[in-house]
Structure 1
Amino acid sequence: MSTFRLRRRELRRPVLMTVGTVLALALAGGCSATSSGPVGTGGGGGSQLTVALFQNPDSLDPAATGLVSVSQIDAAIFDTLTYKFAGDDKIYPGLATSYEISPDGTTYTLHLRTGVKFQDGTPFNAQAVKANFDHIVDPATKSKSAIGALGPYKETQVVDDSTAKVVFKEPNLAFENEMSQVTLGMSSPTALQKYGAGYGNHPVGTGPFTFESFTNGQQVRVTRNPDYAWGPDKLGSGPAKLDAITFRILSDPSAQRNALNTNEVQVAGNLTPQDVATAVGAGAKTATATSSGMPYGYLINVDKAPTNDLAVRQAIQLAVDKKSILDTLFEGQFDPASSVLTASTPGFVADGVTYDPDKAGQMLDQAGWTKGPDGMRSKGGTPLTLDLINITGFGFDDISTLLQAQLKKVGIAVTITDQGFPAVATTYNQGTQNLANWFYYDVDPFTLNTVFACNQVQSGFNWSHYCNADLDAKIIAANATVDRDQRTKAYQDIVTTLNQAAAFLPIYDTKTVLVTKGVSGIQFGPTGQPYFTSATR
């Protein structure tokens, strides 16, 4: 493989971290089943792997999907323009061998690898890049994550077969990071045209594995691509070592545990901490990676009483004992979060909040929320009650119950109701809740534009209903800042403002924890999605 050459006019600093947006809280739609025969061997020694996933795919089209579990499947089928790995600051070439960024940050000139073919025989070239990016912004695609990762896209200009210019309406330095994420994986233009709206059930990439079948609610199967010869050196650059992977849909942790115990699956990623410990005690191994983006936590609605009161939001943060929650539920498996961004995300700044229920009580007293004989607070006859709408089965059920108990100790009542997809997003956009479940996987801090921008209120993912036009402008300006150090500093200032606004209650930083049996060679991207290209059994 040739050396990756980053050519950037007027810049001399090292390359910033890159890769991956996968929105975990996107809506899961139904998928019809497709199939195409049994899994065969591809010359890799006959080894097959079964991986447990906790979500049924909404779509296998990387441009359309919004589910974190789909990234594991798509990372096997599709290549990205560049690659980045957890714990490694280096950018690796993918389908692009090098790129240049214009001084104003609006144009990326991509120099593409030659000799690459999609799994249906279609050649990969600049026209394919254009077709993919045009597909993402096409309203018919109904893109969830990819359209945010692509940013203010204007057009792709085909210079020649191996050169494409991606042009943005405004400076978009985030694209340098986002080029490596799975939702910008390259699809066959032939397949996009052939299958149209049904492409999500017939994915065709250039990756190490070829799509074989999708049985809705049960499994997705992929087989080794014997022609694969253009992956990053970190993954071995040649064909995958496994002959086939079956991704089994097992949403319940106990089902994953049982399947792991009986060796029906060899990789499980949604076990309870107790089951992880038991499996390791019985000889299993763990493969882990920290994730960039936003932590598991709660978006606090700043537009609905009583959380429209800053003092109430700040008191909530002070009254929650994150360490106790994590020790109780996860046996210390995760680290407490302390910001709107995870600690591994560029722009991270800690909020400085520590567990202090006494200070929380004093703050509420000063704001006029006084305790009654029953220990619960009110102001002017209005009880201090929060509506928490919990997304059933998304990892928040027990956290919400403990949160409710902790807030009660300082006199804040919490009413918990449960909703599932797709209704919960509509409810959150309507703003009937005070607290909304949230987590988000991304490598670039520009993701804050998706979660906190004014134009995302009521129709996007701004479920805190926080709107600050000045901050919106600062986020856009930060994304247009070419100097990396200045860009990071700008985002640190933005994160500080958001932390002070207390529009988000962080609980723990996201981390991928896979339990494996007889499997080695799994690698991870910065958002924690696993790559199985070099995995062996």
Structure 2
Amino acid sequence: MRRFGAQLSGLILLLNLLIACGTASETTQTTTSTNATSEQTANPNGVLRIGTGINLPVGLDVAQGSTGYNMVTYGAGETLMRFTADNQLKPWLAESVSALDATTWQIKLRQGVRFHDGSELKASDVVTSFNSSWQNLSAAKNFIPADSKTTVIDDYTLNLSTSQAEGSIPYSLANWNFVIHKPALNGVSVLTGMYQPISLEKDQELVLERFANYWDGQAGLQKIIVKKIPDANARSLALQSGDLDLLTNVAPDLASGLPADIELQSVAGTRMHYVMLDSANPPFDDRLVRQALTLAIDRQALLQATLDGQGAVATNLYPASVGIELVEAQIFDPAQAATLLDQAGWVVGSDGMRSKNGQPLAFTLHSYPGRAELTLMAIAIQAQLKDLGITVEVKEVTDIGEIVEKGNFNASMYSIGTSPDPQYTVGTTLIKGAAYNYTGYSNPAIESAFAELRAEQDHAKRIAIAKRIQTEVKNDPVNVYLASPPLITAYRKGSLSGYVPNPNDVYLITKELKLNQ
């Protein structure tokens, strides 16, 4: 038995100057500053005010949309497994997860875990929670098949049996699509976390309060108020004035301008910024054009122009920070990019721009303000591709989900959190029907390799399969991978204690986090 325990206008000139200057030397590992030790006493009744530019949940039902992600982020939701700050997979609500054979996993639960309604977590609740996820969250099926069987052994033990071998079950149990919950009553899921959501004002504010009967002891804050403030400068000013206590996802250029009394915490993140291409429609229905785009972008210049040189360039679908062996695929090679476009019939005219059969090589690149650097990257990409004869219109929209979910785009900036599990990014972005595969892209070689990856339990063999998939991504790209940004948070020096940054941005709030008096 094996066990697994912006603003656009004011920055365009600067961007163009930085791009024209070329790339700087290889940079990019960010470091974690030491959490300042405060002599102040933690306030047991502290109210932590968080400012974010990222969308708040549309509701409080974790079986809808990405609400589960938000609930884990802010300390309300928990999964059976989780990733620690050093990217280790550990039990959370589970006590252990063990492989009985190739298709059967046994899950033993922690005893004494209470839901927010006061009832104790039992194996039957996990069965109900899984069924809710499978029925309502399409992405859940990409991690644990919906035809899996759950069998209650006793109050704290259940078996999970799959129709075929599934090697990544322990990893999948850490996925936010499987937040343990009781189905929502009046639109609110009953969860187990250290904080309990009590109100949500759409697109404005989420409020949570300490859950008194939390299984792992009293959480350090009385209340958490999460405010969505789309403008990054407004968030920064609110922190400096004392109207906010903590900023998340701080852009490096903004971080560098903060005063000395602001503490910054920066870690190499596991997030991936990339461009999604509509492979179903011109011009990106041509594989040669997609390949050309992957080679036409100077990613190091993007880092210099938009992330203050911080972060890491991406050459394939996995960030270097997750520890998966990489196959270098999407490198900067403008000469080869031009050759591929020539082969595809896109000819350079007297004006330096490319056309084919009288049609210009042009597309709209959508972006969104939630992650400010994405639009800045889009502007930089626009300038780089113009040198290759491609016309790009950058269009920023407030709700990128509305655009991509309807498939109403040529290309779009996007960003997802990734995982040390090699299956995760493939399963969410490249497989037909995956949560972030918005254009219906399907590659038989990737689909076949993904099936192998799902079945394999041996780590070394899983990495080998992941390398094969990366090679196929090089040959038939649908996404242009750009960079992994640093994960930067900011707060006033001495104001917090117990804060440990996690490269997986889903884990923001911990029990130990306290607000000092």
TM-score bucket (shorter structure): 0.7 to 0.9
2:382 to 404, 421, 424: 404
Instruction: Give the secondary-structure state (helix, strand or coil) at the position aligned to 1:77.
Output: coil
Match of 2:490 in 1: 515
Match of 2:60 in 1: 60
**Equivalent residues of 1:301, 1:307 under 8 A apart:** yes
Matches of 2:385 and 2:227, distance apart in 1: 39
Partner AA of 2:169 in structure 1 = F
User: Aligned pairs, how many?
Assistant: 471
Matches of 1:470 and 1:179, distance apart in 2: 27
Closer/same/farther in 2, CA of residues 258 and 508 from structure 1, 3 Å limit: same
Instruction: Give the secondary-structure state (helix, strand or coil) at the position aligned to 2:422.
Output: coil
1:434 to 395, 403, 410: 410
Matches of 1:224 and 1:216, distance apart in 2: 21
Instruction: Give the secondary-structure state (helix, strand or coil) at the position aligned to 2:267.
Output: strand
Match of 1:30 in 2: none
Measured after TM superposition, the shift of residue 206 of structure 1 is 2.2
Measured after TM superposition, the shift of residue 413 of structure 1 is 1.7
Closer/same/farther in 2, CA of residues 400 and 268 from structure 1, 3 Å limit: same
1:275 to 251, 254, 268: 254
Matches of 1:308 and 1:244, distance apart in 2: 50
Match of 2:20 in 1: none
Matches of 1:528 and 1:155, distance apart in 2: 31
1:169 to 163, 181, 203: 163
Consecutive aligned runs of 4 or more in structure 1 exceeding 6 Å deviation: none
Closer/same/farther in 2, CA of residues 244 and 474 from structure 1, 3 Å limit: same
Measured after TM superposition, the shift of residue 470 of structure 1 is 3.1
TM-score, reference length from structure 2: 0.83
1:307 to 266, 284, 298: 284
Identity of aligned residues (%): 23
Measured after TM superposition, the shift of residue 384 of structure 1 is 2.1
Partner AA of 2:56 in structure 1 = N
2:149 to 141, 150, 155: 155
Measured after TM superposition, the shift of residue 455 of structure 1 is 4.0
Instruction: Give the secondary-structure state (helix, strand or coil) at the position aligned to 1:98.
Output: strand
Query: 1:11-160 residue pairs with structure 2 within 5 A?
Result: 45-54=44-53, 55-66=55-66, 70-71=70-71, 73-74=73-74, 76-89=75-88, 91-104=89-102, 106-138=103-135, 142-143=136-137, 145-160=139-154
Partner AA of 1:441 in structure 2 = G
Task: Say what the alpha-carbon RMSD is for the aligned residues.
Answer: 2.7
Closer/same/farther in 2, CA of residues 95 and 471 from structure 1, 3 Å limit: same
Larger relative contact order, structure 1 or 2 (CA cutoff 8 Å, min sep 6): 2
Matches of 2:205 and 2:138, distance apart in 1: 22
Matches of 2:285 and 2:123, distance apart in 1: 49
**Equivalent residues of 1:464, 1:504 under 8 A apart:** no
Q: Deviations over 1:17-63 (max 9, x none)?
A: xxxxxxxxxxxxxxxxxxxxxxxxxx962222111122222233333
TM-score, reference length from structure 1: 0.80
Match of 2:392 in 1: 414
**Equivalent residues of 1:349, 1:496 under 8 A apart:** no
Partner AA of 2:92 in structure 1 = G
Instruction: Give the secondary-structure state (helix, strand or coil) at the position aligned to 2:121.
Output: coil
**Equivalent residues of 1:63, 1:147 under 8 A apart:** no
Measured after TM superposition, the shift of residue 516 of structure 1 is 1.6
Matches of 1:92 and 1:220, distance apart in 2: 28
Matches of 2:431 and 2:147, distance apart in 1: 18
Q: Deviations over 1:162-203 (max 9, x none)?
A: 11112233322222112223442222x3xx36x15x12xxx4
Question: Does structure 1 residue 328 correspond to structure 2 residue 327?
Answer: no
Question: Does structure 1 residue 363 correspond to structure 2 residue 340?
Answer: yes
Match of 2:210 in 1: 224
Closer/same/farther in 2, CA of residues 381 and 210 from structure 1, 3 Å limit: closer
Question: Does structure 1 residue 207 correspond to structure 2 residue 193?
Answer: yes
Match of 1:241 in 2: 220
**Equivalent residues of 2:296, 2:384 under 8 A apart:** yes
Partner AA of 1:276 in structure 2 = A
Partner AA of 2:510 in structure 1 = F
Measured after TM superposition, the shift of residue 300 of structure 1 is 2.3
Where do 5+ consecutive residues of structure 2 fail to align? 6-41
Where do 5+ consecutive residues of structure 1 fail to align? 1-6, 10-14, 17-42, 231-237
Instruction: Give the secondary-structure state (helix, strand or coil) at the position aligned to 1:362.
Output: helix
